[in-house]
Structure 1
Amino acid sequence: MKDSLDLAAAQEALAAQPFSRLLGTRLVAFGKGEAVLELDIRDDLRQQNGFVHGGVLGYAADNALTFAAGSAAGAHVLTSGFTIDYLRPADGALLRAHAHVVRAGRTRIVSRCDLSTLDAQGTQTLCAVAQGTIAVRAAVHGDTAPGI
């Protein structure tokens, strides 16, 4: 994998993640400190009350935050930590995680992510927000293994 990423290379990185393939996640936008992930909401992603499970939202936030950071710093990034605030139950046809870099430092990047659902008519509803710290691995550990 290249150090710097374009949309096609980032999509390859996502496709290399078995869990992302299992969920059917798509990277639909990538570059200039931003990334957008989407996944279709299926019944097997819901919890007992019929809403999208919070773990699915957490997964989408984690990946979107890190891909946004990767668009600014290259492939050698890895989530250091993130927080998520659930604003309302997630329901609809599509989950969209739109992340952008807030600040890119030499060894750490801070990203923010809005998680929204879209219904069959395309109405978007914000259901959660997340913020994360992404480590730039080559700068922190001197390794060359890709992170995304």
Structure 2
Amino acid sequence: MSNMLDKGKEILSQQSFSLLLGTTLEAYEAGTAELSLEMRDDLKQNNGFAHGGVVSYLADNCITFAGASVLGRCVTSEYKVNYVRPAIGDRLVARSTVLYAGKRQATCECKVYAQADGEEKLVAVSLGTIHKIDEQKP
């Protein structure tokens, strides 16, 4: 396991909401991140697929991890999500890449997939701006 992945897992372990959902950091390298979570009934909406908020959270957190991989400590400045199909499956996986990074901000994209029966289907696409924050402030 790389030092960067270890550090990313340490950061994820400090995010109580991520722990509540059961999020796992699968990959973390300069310019990329991958998060996943196992689907549970309490994460589904009334029609039986992943709640949009769960999909959106996964995209948001994944683009922020990708941005942090090149900027350091940061937060999401803005992001948008396009849902392309219902998230039906046993597991959700988000993969994000940095499209552009400057000194203070990065533009990142993320694709979220639902996995079921050995297949992966695209369920959402996200684009966001990640902003570097001062290392000295809490």
**Residue correspondence of structure 1 range 1-148 to structure 2 within 5 A:** 6-74=4-72, 76-119=73-116, 121-138=117-134, 143-145=135-137
CA contact (8 A) 2:77 2:131 kept: yes
Any unmatched runs of 5+ in structure 1?
Answer: none
Structure 1 counterpart of 2:104, one-letter code: T
Q: Secondary structure at the match of 1:127?
A: strand
Q: Secondary structure at the match of 1:68?
A: helix
Q: Secondary structure at the match of 2:55?
A: helix
Alpha-carbon distance in structure 2 between the residues aligned to 1:124 and 1:89: 13
Structure 1 counterpart of 2:23, one-letter code: T
Give aligned-pair identity as a percent: 43
Which is richer in strand? 2
Q: Secondary structure at the match of 2:136?
A: coil
CA contact (8 A) 2:84 2:125 kept: yes
Give 1:73 deviation, angstroms.
1.6
CA contact (8 A) 2:83 2:125 kept: yes
Alpha-carbon distance in structure 1 between the residues aligned to 2:25 and 2:136: 24
Structure 2 counterpart of 1:106, one-letter code: K
Structure 2 counterpart of 1:82, one-letter code: Y
Give 1:145 deviation, angstroms.
3.9
- The aligned length equals 136
Any unmatched runs of 5+ in structure 2?
Answer: none
Give 1:108 deviation, angstroms.
1.1
Structure 2 counterpart of 1:116, one-letter code: Y
1:90 to 1:99, Cα distance in 2 relative to 1, 3 A: same
